[in-house]
Structure 1
């Protein structure tokens, strides 16, 4: 049995990435004396790269002089809920000096964090998303009951954070929207009191940068997801540069060979029904793309089989979903289906060799055998002469 302490509650994220030299926030101060101001950018998944809200709070305190206005800009799919609550409380302590700004998206834990600001300005084409807390858990029934209790408590913390920003909000309606995973436009957020005013719009597509994570959510707006497939907008004309030497021509791709690779690999893995989808998705671009798609397809198949929903494998692969996105979709389907089915049987590959059962004693047969043996011995003795 595996127990995880403390409980980390996410916005349908997978396991946090290993610590690297990356950040999900940045801070800068500009101006001097009376014109000094501080800008903070939370442009990433809160709590990733091994950096917690504790470090965020320390960095902000080191830059803050106690009087300068602070603007905290958000473009985040969310992250660790408790880190989001810690940021919420840190911004709340700054009082009227703090303005929260939603540049593109403040989802899940990020929506909790931004509501800690004294004033919240949301861009006209930005969105705020609110939903239930979510986590992974393992253990026995008592462990899982404790996790469920922790999630209930986390839910109350979320409601309290939103009501701190919008004290007049109808709590029954707020809980309904949180439970339904609600995506709020700028005007809707202002109407509810979770934002104070609508600001100038920004290029949402230019700010997203987290498209893969958006696919974790069940009700992400299609208009928002559609932007992920659009080509980037052309920038200003670059300064002419010296003409570089002619690059080497790329190797010729053997489409037939790659199609054969997909066919043979799928047949060997028992996923022949995915051949057509994989050929369509990869467009037989190159061997690396094909191998990556095959690896992902096998992972998706394994997840669907583990969830006892193998019938969704082809649908998920055809949609080009990653294993991480599929994990979130399967969780939603299991929950909406009315509960979980616990399977305590051993995997087929681990089934023990059947044991040979000993034959049960048969008293009548044993008695008959003894009588026959004794009778034979008596006859033998009578035929012996000295």
Structure 2
């Protein structure tokens, strides 16, 4: 097996690589050079902090020989609409060689992307979700009107992507389903024309792992939420019952936080972690340390490391932090279309006043000084 330099891409010959919960995106080529199949696994968020369209297309180009069949497997709660559209068009250009496979869930932008494949196979227990585009924005009334117009235009792009896959679908019915945020079963997806056939089922709970993402949507099926929220399996009566963990002193818990932060290079978060956890018990402290590291990584990636301490002090999880960072970045000017919905606990977006322009102020002061230049000999 020859491993490429990219940490998430594997090029193998004749060996099936399992998809684990931590390996959310990789490519592999199996079989002889003359008869091989290229498989792409898109397991996770599209765009943003997940897999971008640029990464997807460049990686695929690096493996595509122009003749081999390509299977693109999706298990995604969605993400950035424009990245999803770019993936859709990339799959469409592959023609009859491309098969899209919905292993568990293709929601939102992922449903747009998978419909670019020539043939779509959806697992018997998988789902496809379609809905209207959604975005964050800020500004004055004109800014909001402009964004509303852009959302209307992007809705037309979504409709066009679905109709390219299902040209015979009734336009009015398709728009009604999109507007209602519709979760389609495998049978319903085939009947609508967004999938071509139903494949073998897989255990959804074992592969989705995206419960926090699905909490953003309004009508996510409760049965699916129960599976992906990781409800524990019942313990058989014959099995010994686990004993409650021994209590750990608050001093040891504080030491655990101090050492953990030092090892991770986040010593500035010791006090916020102690305050947010209240040194309740060892599992709470361990979870808070893991969460703090992830929050730090997100803030660094967004080039806003100074926000880390506040997020940790408030006890925010990574999903809420992503929403806050997105709000901060888009509030600084411009906006992006993201067709994932906000978390239920997200604070409302408030309109912000226009920020002062330091360069304009300085230029005005210099012009005033040149105009009111004092007479010779006068002191300033």
Q: Distance in 2 between matches of 1:50 and 1:23?
A: 12
Deviates more, 1:223-232 or 1:200-209: 223-232
SS across alignment from 1:326: coil
1:335-368 superposed Cα distances (whole Å, 9 cap, x missing partner): xxxxx99799xxxxxxxxxxxxxxxxxxxxxxxx
SS across alignment from 1:205: helix
8 Å CA contact 1:133, 1:151 repeated in 2: yes
Q: Distance in 1 between matches of 2:287 and 2:118?
A: 50
Q: Residue 295 of structure 1 is aligned with which of 314, 320, 330?
A: 314
Match of 1:197 in 2: 197
8 Å CA contact 2:44, 2:50 repeated in 1: no
Could you say if the C-alpha distance between residues 176 and 95 of structure 1 is closer, same or farther in structure 2, counting changes exceeding 3 Å? same
Q: Distance in 2 between matches of 1:176 and 1:204?
A: 28
8 Å CA contact 2:25, 2:42 repeated in 1: yes
8 Å CA contact 1:24, 1:46 repeated in 2: no
Match of 2:104 in 1: 104
Match of 2:344 in 1: 326
Q: Distance in 2 between matches of 1:220 and 1:213?
A: 10
Listed as ranges, the matches of 1:4-153 within 5 Å are: 24-49=24-49, 51-153=51-153
1:118-171 superposed Cα distances (whole Å, 9 cap, x missing partner): 000000000000011111101111111111111111100000000000001011
Could you say if the C-alpha distance between residues 190 and 233 of structure 1 is closer, same or farther in structure 2, counting changes exceeding 3 Å? farther
Listed as ranges, the matches of 1:100-249 within 5 Å are: 100-227=100-227, 228-231=229-232
Runs (4+) of structure 1 exceeding 6 A deviation are 282-285, 289-294, 297-300, 340-344
Could you say if the C-alpha distance between residues 100 and 343 of structure 1 is closer, same or farther in structure 2, counting changes exceeding 3 Å? closer
8 Å CA contact 1:108, 1:130 repeated in 2: yes
Query: Which protein has greater RCO, CA pairs closer than 8 Å, 6+ apart?
Result: 2
Could you say if the C-alpha distance between residues 327 and 29 of structure 1 is closer, same or farther in structure 2, counting changes exceeding 3 Å? same
Structure 1 runs not aligned, ≥5 long: 1-21, 235-248, 259-277, 304-323, 332-339, 345-386
Match of 2:262 in 1: none
Using the size of structure 1 for normalisation, the TM-score is: 0.59
Using the size of structure 2 for normalisation, the TM-score is: 0.60
1:284-305 superposed Cα distances (whole Å, 9 cap, x missing partner): 77663898999348999xx9xx
8 Å CA contact 2:75, 2:208 repeated in 1: yes
Q: Distance in 2 between matches of 1:223 and 1:155?
A: 28
Once the two structures are TM-superposed, the CA of residue 24 in structure 1 deviates from its matched residue by 4.9
Q: Distance in 2 between matches of 1:157 and 1:24?
A: 27
